[in-house]
Structure 1
Amino acid sequence: MHADREVAAAASADLTPPKKQRPTLLILNVVTIFLGIGVWWLVSISGIKLPTPPEVVQAAIKMAANGTLWTDLGASLTRVLTGFVLGTALAIPVGFLMGWYPWARGLLEPWIQFFRTVPPLAIIPLMIALLGIGEVPKIFVIFLAAFLSCVISTFQGVVQVDKTLINAARVLGAKDGTIFAKVVIPASTPFILVGMRVGLGSAWATVIAAELIAAQVGLGYRMQQAQIYYQLPVIFVGIVIIGGIGLLMDRGLLWVENKLTSWQERR
């Protein structure tokens, strides 16, 4: 127990708490959102065939009233969250394994790098051919996108842990399990969370593409149907909802990152 406390102290000795108050950034975020809406409005009334913000709001209200919006949103969210959670849950232990054991890195890294060069979207036709147009192929490609984003980040976090901290822990008598729990995991946490944020964006991009190809419900499917009938406000409703929910989920992960890495020195 004494060795555990010394290892934890050695791992965080040179780090200072970050500044948590960022009101200026929050104000700038709000300002830039309103500026973006204003630019969109000006462009839409300048003669370019784009729906105005009020037209998009009206379309969203109509879709919400008839239940279409909630059905599509629920389907897309379920697919994204299922694939993202499964992909992240597997990526973290695999990344730790690759970073900690050279034999695991030798066995797994070539395959991970191979699949990283193949966009998950390119696998969608294969999954549909093998598994049909049900939920499994959609969730699988989302899982793959999230897994590949997070596993590399986790691996990099492990291999970039300061060797001095690990050696100091060994000198203090800590075993591999203690070193891993007290040094490697805390030091890798920022990398893991960054990988999760990237994986979340990949998951959204992948699910929309999957729904464009083979789905009967979902935001991507609804946007494709709107494109066929030239319903531009409906397309914009999908874009705004996807971007808005993606932004909120990313900010949620960023909040978790700030909480879990408050010991990390920041600029």
Structure 2
Amino acid sequence: MSVVSELATEKPKLLSARGTAIMLGAISFVAGIGLWWLAVLAGLSALPNPPEVLRRFIELVANGQLFGDMAASLQRVLIGFALGSLAAVPVGFLMGWYRIARNLIDPWIQFFRVVPPLAIIPLAIVTLGIDEKPKIFVIFLAAFLSSVVATYQGVISVDKTYINAARVLGASDRVIFSHVVIPASTPFILVGFRIGLGAAWATVVAAELIAAQSGLGFRMQQAQLYYDLPTIFVSLISIGILGLIMDRIVVWADERLTGWQERV
């Protein structure tokens, strides 16, 4: 079979697998909503039912609150996550490639890893104020710690056979690093990005609960004071949707950048 024929055969399979995944995801979503509704109707839960949440969603969209809160939280997450990830990748490569750098930096990374970013929020507020700086800083820290460990693990997990083969062929350390280590570490880096995104969203919501005048976390805190469960649900669902979209973007980048990797 020619290469063209093989590619023509693989493409429908890929489209079919993707269509199946979308269909199963939709079925799972509808089933989850149905179970939620049945639990409320049966009196097994004090949660609001889906129509109540939908009505509150329409109200918050109509008065502009929801989009304003989503924009505020999304901006904080994007800035903190981008800064944390950009800083983590070179530090992770440095730790993985040079043993001296690993011995110098790793103790600090492990120290801050066991200190939850949420525990640093009070310190960040006291030292940086109550504006955007402390919120972005704790998001930066959460994303950085997740990504730097993943990048470091990717570098030290590169198959030594590839590196030795490149050396035998006369490749310099610079060529080995750029053509062997970086491509082989990319899947680990992107996994770190996905974990960092989750940590960033968890951190921004906690930060907004403490000191904010806008954002989805702030809106949930205000709704809690009035026992406004539909608003809390709308905020939670909005966070989940935004996080899911960002995660799918990283997955799409992973598929494009690591097309050489075998997948199940």
Q: TM-score, normalised by structure 1?
A: 0.92
Deviations 1:49-80 (A, max 9, x none): 21111111111111111111111111000000
Which stretch of the first structure deviates more once superposed, 40-49 or 106-115?
40-49
Pair 1:209 & 2:199 matched: no
Paired position in structure 1 for 2:5: none
Pair 1:245 & 2:239 matched: no
Deviations 1:192-247 (A, max 9, x none): 00000000000000000000011111100000000100111000000100011111
Within 5 Å, which residues of 2 pair with 1:154-173?
A: 154-173=151-170
Paired position in structure 2 for 1:9: none
Deviations 1:78-130 (A, max 9, x none): 00000000000000000000000111101100000000000000000111111
Deviation at 1:257, TM superposition (A): 0.5
Within 5 Å, which residues of 2 pair with 1:19-58?
A: 20-21=14-15, 22=17, 23-47=19-43, 48-58=45-55
SS of the equivalent of 2:96 reads helix
Which stretch of the first structure deviates more once superposed, 256-265 or 188-197?
256-265
Deviation at 1:45, TM superposition (A): 1.8
Q: Distance in 1 between matches of 2:32 and 2:251?
A: 23
Q: Distance in 1 between matches of 2:107 and 2:40?
A: 49
- In structure 2, runs of 5+ residues without a counterpart are 1-9
Match of 2:20, as an amino acid?
Answer: T
SS of the equivalent of 1:266 reads coil
Within 5 Å, which residues of 2 pair with 1:141-152?
A: 141-152=138-149
Query: Sequence identity of aligned pairs in percent?
Result: 64
Deviation at 1:24, TM superposition (A): 2.4
Which stretch of the first structure deviates more once superposed, 18-27 or 243-252?
18-27
Paired position in structure 2 for 1:226: 223
- In structure 1, runs of 5+ residues without a counterpart are 1-16
The structure whose RCO (Cα within 8 Å, separation 6+) is larger is 1
Match of 1:180, as an amino acid?
Answer: F
Which stretch of the first structure deviates more once superposed, 118-127 or 37-46?
37-46
Paired position in structure 2 for 1:6: none
Pair 1:264 & 2:261 matched: yes
Paired position in structure 1 for 2:99: 102
Deviations 1:153-202 (A, max 9, x none): 00000001011100111111111111111100100000000000000000
Which stretch of the first structure deviates more once superposed, 253-262 or 83-92?
253-262
Which stretch of the first structure deviates more once superposed, 250-259 or 136-145?
250-259
Within 5 Å, which residues of 2 pair with 1:117-156?
A: 117-156=114-153
Pair 1:86 & 2:97 matched: no
